[in-house]
Amino acid sequence: MQKTQAVSRVELLAPVGKWDVLEAVIAAGADAVYLGGKKYNMRLHRKDFNFTGEELQEVVKFAHAHNVKVYVTVNNLLTSAEISELSAYLTFLQEIDVDGLIIQDLGVARRAKELGLTVPLHASVMANAHNLESLFFLQELGITRVILSRELTLAEIKLLHNQVSLELEYFTHGDMCFSHGSQCYHSGMLFGESSNRGRCLKPCRWPFKLVEHDSQAVLPVRAGGPHFLAVKDICLLPYLPEVIEAGISSLKIEGRMREAGYLRPLIGFYRRALDRYYEDPAGYSFNWEEYEALHEMRVRDLSPMYAFGNPGPASIGYTGEREPRFFSCAVKEPVLTVQDLAANPLPDPGQEKAGDSRPHLAVKAGSYPAARAALENGADIIYTSGENFSSQGPPWRLEDFRELVARGKECGVRVVIGTPRITLPGEMERIYLLLEETHELEPDGILVANLGAIYAASKTTRLPLYADYACNLANQEAAALLQKYGVVQATAPLEFCWEELLLMSREFPLPLEAVVHGTLPAMVSDHCLPAALLEGTTRYQLCPGPCRKMQYGLRDAAGQIHPLETEHNCRNHLFLAHELALLPYLRSFYGAGFKSLRLEIPTYSAEEAGAVTKLYRANLDRLWESPTSYRFLEGDWEKLLQARKGPFGTGPYTRGVKVNKTGRLAPRV
């Protein structure tokens, strides 16, 4: 008879924002705590939370005296300037003997290696590790623990656990996001407060109405309230045996902004349940009286979220009545009118690179007809969208790629095959098949959007890799790291304002592409809104597919309609209400150092794609042929509005994330 192995003990990991919380959670039985300094971490809303350097040193001494580990969050998305200032802080954290660093940015991992640090590195949930290949990638970097994507099920995690030596951490209780980790750009683009930099203002908690996109007619829904994206808190207390058996090594409790009076009993519930389980795993049964007590002190209502599969509408707190705080409300997005065309809101780039060659005009298209139209109207680079949006008709076929690549070679246009932003474990086999099939067509490259896709493409193809905006590359160190994996060009972050993008263009080791036009992605989620709101179901309950019947949008409280697209994996993509259009302000890009300017138009029809590409082609040509005499023609604005009705705005270029606080550039008039 095969002897059973002893049950491994998992770590109970508690959040800490202040000293009294530290004492409380340790007294309640936490095995480890995670916390942040005064900068570089993902919880920066309140100045009375987080720790100074001196306080961190005392935290480590106190925790170690109680046999508790300390993990420090250095998990912001960082610019090159911030990375350059980081070395002393990282060295300090090792010197005070912290037990691990939680990081999001690949640049931090590279800098830690350059410094010869031996402190263990843990990949944040914001690293968006959601497939086996992303775990392999992080393991190669020297990461020892990965905080897994919240969309992974326990069954998927068990399969991953059996194939890697990494420690796997999983959120077990607390506040959750509607969007995939690191892929929510709404707050950053609209308010300049980025979810990737610890300042999210949570547009997911706004009230909305579901509408038919074109007619704007409000649709009746099953939901009991308007907060369609307001996910409940995760709670896995009743399911600890299943969590442990999945191979998770650390149970993460969310709540670094919570007070001691809340966290002490919360940690106690999990501590007591774990201890009872280890005393007698075979005879363990859940204490429902404990759960009732936990339920009474809950912040939001509770859900197991994705642990056992897509939870659908059961995961949403539609009424919003249990929201502890609304961080923001809907505001009007920037909109351009004819009167705005003469005054350029983009600051003067200053010392221009006058000798710069004309940037390539790149177009991301969502269908073969749209890609062909863009190619025929002046695009230098065609990206095929990694998503097959329902609005675009039939999905991409191998024959589409073959014909597009052949036509591109005839016209001297590069064709780069796109992969999806999200590729969960069950979807990766199709990525390998796509890479294998398209490699034989000899396209000019592969557009990659997550760590798993980068790893898979680098191991299976010799084609150049183009890093899409979803890779969140914001500094030289991260870019240099990806160069070793075959990345030859990067897309600038969508959230940053014009000034930050200019700084990036001057210092980046990779050719840099900027998105200058198109639909701006705000969130991407595995929660299907049409299915949940209209049918009360998910794709795994034989959903009748309401997403195929019409095009939808969400109307916010400011009256703006955010387009909603469903793609081939039933994933939902929500966009800003206004599209980006920098056609009148291309003069600012002359000599700014960008290798390529992109039209991000995967939801455009062939007619729209062709017309808009033609307008940008003509203006770029006129600008680079005679920069001193170039003027934008008001008639071209009218042509843009005829091609695509908009509304159009400047989006993150004027409202996005500002990091650099000195050397401000003067507005151009």
More confident residue, 418 or 46: 418
pTM of the complete model: 0.96
How far is residue 247's CA from residue 239's CA, in Å, rounded to a whole number? 13
Q: What is the per-residue pLDDT across 10-54, written as a single tens digit (0 to 9) for each? A: 999 999 999 999 999 999 999 999 999 998 886 666 677 899 999
pLDDT exceeds cutoff 50 at 666: no
Taking residues 254-260, what's their average pLDDT?
95
How far is residue 451's CA from residue 127's CA, in Å, rounded to a whole number? 8
Taking residues 376-388, what's their average pLDDT?
98
Structure tokens at 407: 């036509």
How far is residue 557's CA from residue 237's CA, in Å, rounded to a whole number? 36
Strand ranges in 51-139 using DSSP code E only, listed in sequence order: 69-74, 100-103, 121-123
- CB-hemisphere CA count at 13 Å for 53? 9
Which of 563, 525, 568 is CA-nearest to residue 548? 568
pLDDT computed for residue 106 by the predictor: 98
All domains in the chain, ordered by first residue = 11-203+232-263+301-315 (3.20.20.70), 358-473+510-520+576-654 (3.20.20.380)
pLDDT exceeds cutoff 70 at 256: yes
Q: What is the per-residue pLDDT across 333-379, written as a single tens digit (0 to 9) for each? A: 999 999 999 999 998 776 565 557 899 999 999 999 999 999 999 99
239 C-beta neighbours (distance < 10 Å), count: 16
pLDDT exceeds cutoff 50 at 535: yes
Q: Which of 227-236, 402-411, 500-509 has the lowest mean pLDDT?
A: 500-509
- CB-hemisphere CA count at 13 Å for 188? 24
Q: What is the per-residue pLDDT across 644-656, written as a single tens digit (0 to 9) for each? A: 999 999 999 999 9
How far is residue 32's CA from residue 476's CA, in Å, rounded to a whole number? 33
pLDDT computed for residue 88 by the predictor: 96
pLDDT-derived band at 8 (thresholds 50, 70, 90) equals confident
Mean residue pLDDT across the chain? 95
How far is residue 227's CA from residue 233's CA, in Å, rounded to a whole number? 14
pLDDT-derived band at 280 (thresholds 50, 70, 90) equals very high
φ and ψ of 489, to 5 deg: -155, 145
C-beta of residue 616 within 8 angstroms of C-beta of residue 535: no
pLDDT computed for residue 507 by the predictor: 87
How far is residue 516's CA from residue 348's CA, in Å, rounded to a whole number? 16
pLDDT exceeds cutoff 70 at 465: yes
Dihedral sign (CA 113, 115, 119, 121): negative
Omega before residue 425 within 30° of 0, cis? no
Per cent of the chain over pLDDT 90 is 92
C-beta of residue 50 within 8 angstroms of C-beta of residue 37: yes
pLDDT-derived band at 660 (thresholds 50, 70, 90) equals confident
